[in-house]
Structure 1
Amino acid sequence: MPSNKKVIKAYVSEDEHMKVSATAKQCSLSLSAFAKAVCLGHEIKSREDQQARRELLKINADLARLGGLLKMWILDDDKHRLDVEKLLEELRLRQKELCEKVWSL
């Protein structure tokens, strides 16, 4: 069965071609996928942005695990309860800030 896809051609200079190709590569996209996404107005995220988001999400998961450990400590050791609760609240605030930064990328 023949494909219903259409081809769009664009003439660019050598310099423009190099710039577009380099930008597509930074975004981990083929030249065709990059051109299609840009023409359709999709937001393009660079590989660095994607990697930064993954790293921040890993940090967020680490904070959540640390919070879980602190909660377990509260159950085992009541005399440090106030200190641990302050730490937990600080962790929650940092986690919220981190999530906001991740989703703004």
Structure 2
Amino acid sequence: MPRSGTAETRERNRPLRVVVSPSERARIEAQAAAAGLSVSAYLRNVGLGYQPRSVVDLDAVERLAKVNADLGRLGGLLKLWLTDTPGRGVPVADIRDLLGQIKDTQEDLRHAVTRL
């Protein structure tokens, strides 16, 4: 629950002790960080029924997905170029290397989006 003013913060002088295992503490700290809150604020909010939202930058996720789509289209165009005019222009080995790099970049982007 968002704070409504400074008077409420002054009244918060009664600590609540919670006993947790090291792994539970790590999970709570990670979830608090993902919500952009201190551990104290996170536990207070969850305990009072507020569901904190993740602070993942949805715009960044959208940009990564667009880059991935662009790379996919580029790979498709290069593949088309290879099948239509094999052996002309850039050496085939260089194009194959480039396609491999594009595929690797797509995989890296997929992993980045999954982590977000």
TM-score for the superposition, normalised by structure 2: 0.54
- The structure with the largest helix share of the pair is 1
**2:51 aligned residue (12, 15, 37):** 37
1:59 aligns with 2:73: no
1:14 aligns with 2:5: yes
**2:98 aligned residue (87, 91, 100):** 87
Alpha-carbon distance between aligned partners in 2 of 1:58 and 1:102, rounded to the nearest angstrom: 11
**What displacement does 1:36 show?**
3.3
Across the aligned residues of Structure 1 and Structure 2, the Cα RMSD in angstroms comes to 2.7
**What displacement does 1:59 show?**
0.4
Unaligned runs of 5+ in 2: 10-35, 37-48
Query: Partner residue of 2:19?
Result: none
Does the residue aligned with 2:57 lie in a helix, a strand or coil? helix
TM-score for the superposition, normalised by structure 1: 0.59
**2:58 aligned residue (20, 28, 50):** 50
Alpha-carbon distance between aligned partners in 2 of 1:13 and 1:57, rounded to the nearest angstrom: 38
- 4+ runs of 1 displaced by more than 4 Å? none
What letter corresponds to residue 85 of structure 2 in structure 1? Answer: D
Identity of counterpart residues, as a percentage? 36
In our comparison, the structure showing a higher alpha carbon Rg is 2
Which residues of 2 match residues 22-33 of structure 1 at below 5 A?
none
Alpha-carbon distance between aligned partners in 2 of 1:60 and 1:13, rounded to the nearest angstrom: 42
**2:85 aligned residue (62, 77, 81):** 77
